[in-house]
Protein backbone atom coordinates (compact mmCIF):
# COMPACT_ATOMS: atom_id res chain seq x y z
CA UNK A 1 0.00 0.00 0.00
CA UNK A 2 2.86 2.38 0.83
CA UNK A 3 4.33 1.98 -2.69
CA UNK A 4 0.98 2.74 -4.30
CA UNK A 5 0.65 5.93 -2.25
CA UNK A 6 4.14 7.04 -3.34
CA UNK A 7 3.21 6.45 -6.98
CA UNK A 8 -0.02 8.43 -6.64
CA UNK A 9 1.91 11.23 -4.91
CA UNK A 10 4.37 11.37 -7.83
CA UNK A 11 1.63 11.31 -10.47
CA UNK A 12 0.00 14.40 -8.96
CA UNK A 13 3.29 16.30 -8.73
CA UNK A 14 4.41 15.39 -5.21
CA UNK A 15 8.00 14.64 -4.19
CA UNK A 16 8.56 11.33 -2.37
CA UNK A 17 12.32 11.64 -1.78
CA UNK A 18 15.01 14.30 -1.56
CA UNK A 19 18.79 14.55 -1.20
CA UNK A 20 20.19 16.12 1.93
CA UNK A 21 23.83 17.13 2.28
CA UNK A 22 24.99 14.91 -0.59
CA UNK A 23 28.75 15.15 -0.03
CA UNK A 24 28.83 15.76 3.71
CA UNK A 25 29.58 19.46 3.28
CA UNK A 26 27.38 22.37 4.30
CA UNK A 27 27.27 23.58 0.70
CA UNK A 28 26.04 21.10 -1.86
CA UNK A 29 27.29 21.89 -5.39
CA UNK A 30 24.65 19.66 -6.98
CA UNK A 31 21.92 21.67 -5.27
CA UNK A 32 23.47 25.02 -6.08
CA UNK A 33 21.26 27.36 -8.06
CA UNK A 34 22.13 26.88 -11.70
CA UNK A 35 22.91 23.15 -11.58
CA UNK A 36 21.02 20.65 -13.70
CA UNK A 37 21.56 16.92 -13.15
CA UNK A 38 21.02 14.70 -16.22
CA UNK A 39 20.64 10.94 -16.33
CA UNK A 40 20.24 8.72 -19.36
CA UNK A 41 20.00 5.04 -20.16
CA UNK A 42 20.22 3.35 -23.55
CA UNK A 43 17.88 0.55 -24.61
CA UNK A 44 18.25 -1.47 -27.81
CA UNK A 45 20.86 -1.62 -30.57
CA UNK A 46 19.50 1.01 -32.95
CA UNK A 47 18.28 -1.44 -35.58
CA UNK A 48 18.36 0.54 -38.87
CA UNK A 49 15.62 -1.66 -40.36
CA UNK A 50 13.23 -0.53 -37.67
CA UNK A 51 12.33 -4.07 -36.61
CA UNK A 52 13.10 -3.33 -32.98
CA UNK A 53 12.72 0.09 -31.42
CA UNK A 54 15.65 1.55 -29.50
CA UNK A 55 15.33 4.33 -26.94
CA UNK A 56 17.30 6.68 -24.75
CA UNK A 57 15.51 7.22 -21.45
CA UNK A 58 16.24 10.85 -20.48
CA UNK A 59 15.81 12.46 -17.07
CA UNK A 60 16.97 15.89 -15.99
CA UNK A 61 16.28 18.05 -12.98
CA UNK A 62 14.37 21.27 -13.34
CA UNK A 63 14.74 22.69 -9.82
CA UNK A 64 17.61 23.54 -7.47
CA UNK A 65 16.63 20.93 -4.85
CA UNK A 66 16.89 18.08 -7.37
CA UNK A 67 13.30 17.09 -6.69
CA UNK A 68 11.48 17.88 -9.94
CA UNK A 69 12.32 16.34 -13.28
CA UNK A 70 11.84 16.49 -17.02
CA UNK A 71 11.66 12.96 -18.45
CA UNK A 72 11.14 11.70 -21.97
CA UNK A 73 11.97 8.59 -24.05
CA UNK A 74 13.82 9.43 -27.27
CA UNK A 75 13.81 6.91 -30.13
CA UNK A 76 17.18 6.40 -31.86
CA UNK A 77 18.64 4.32 -34.69
CA UNK A 78 22.05 3.68 -36.25
CA UNK A 79 21.20 5.49 -39.46
CA UNK A 80 18.97 8.23 -40.73
CA UNK A 81 17.76 11.21 -38.72
CA UNK A 82 17.69 9.61 -35.26
CA UNK A 83 21.35 8.81 -34.59
CA UNK A 84 22.56 9.05 -30.99
CA UNK A 85 24.30 12.45 -31.41
CA UNK A 86 21.23 13.97 -33.05
CA UNK A 87 18.87 12.57 -30.42
CA UNK A 88 21.13 13.72 -27.57
CA UNK A 89 21.19 17.23 -29.04
CA UNK A 90 17.38 17.23 -29.14
CA UNK A 91 17.17 15.86 -25.58
CA UNK A 92 19.61 18.50 -24.26
CA UNK A 93 17.69 21.29 -26.00
CA UNK A 94 14.38 20.04 -24.56
CA UNK A 95 15.88 19.63 -21.07
CA UNK A 96 17.36 23.13 -21.04
CA UNK A 97 14.03 24.54 -22.21
CA UNK A 98 12.25 22.69 -19.37
CA UNK A 99 14.84 24.00 -16.88
CA UNK A 100 14.38 27.57 -18.17
CA UNK A 101 10.58 27.35 -17.89
CA UNK A 102 10.95 26.38 -14.23
CA UNK A 103 13.69 28.94 -13.41
CA UNK A 104 12.55 32.28 -14.85
CA UNK A 105 14.30 31.75 -18.20
CA UNK A 106 17.69 31.18 -16.51
CA UNK A 107 19.85 28.52 -18.20
CA UNK A 108 21.79 26.09 -16.01
CA UNK A 109 25.35 27.21 -15.22
CA UNK A 110 26.50 23.66 -14.53
CA UNK A 111 25.35 20.26 -15.83
CA UNK A 112 26.17 16.99 -14.07
CA UNK A 113 25.68 13.95 -16.36
CA UNK A 114 25.11 10.36 -15.29
CA UNK A 115 24.95 7.75 -18.05
CA UNK A 116 23.78 4.26 -17.20
CA UNK A 117 24.44 1.50 -19.69
CA UNK A 118 25.27 1.84 -23.37
CA UNK A 119 24.29 0.20 -26.61
CA UNK A 120 26.14 -3.04 -27.29
CA UNK A 121 26.77 -1.90 -30.84
CA UNK A 122 28.60 1.43 -31.14
CA UNK A 123 27.50 3.96 -33.72
CA separation for the pair 95, 112 (Å, rounded): 13
- With cut-offs at 50, 70 and 90, classify the pLDDT of residue 82: confident
**What average pLDDT does the structure give for the chain?**
78
Domain ranges of the chain: 33-116
pLDDT of 99 higher than 90: yes
CA separation for the pair 93, 95 (Å, rounded): 6
Which residues, at least 6 apart from 27, have a Cβ–Cβ distance to it below 8 Å? none
Provide the 3-class DSSP secondary structure of residue 71.
Answer: strand
Cβ atoms 91, 40 nearer than 8 A: yes
pLDDT of 123 higher than 50: no
Give percent of the chain with pLDDT exceeding 90. Answer: 21
Pick the CATH number of 33-116 from 2.40.440.10, 3.30.9.10, 3.40.50.10140, 3.30.420.10: 3.30.420.10
pLDDT tens digits along 32-68: 678 898 998 888 776 666 567 788 889 999 987 778 8
Amino acid sequence: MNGILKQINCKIGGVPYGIANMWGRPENPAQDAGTMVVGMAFFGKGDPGGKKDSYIAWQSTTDTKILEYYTFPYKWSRGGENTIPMVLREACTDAIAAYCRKNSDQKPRRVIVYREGSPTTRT
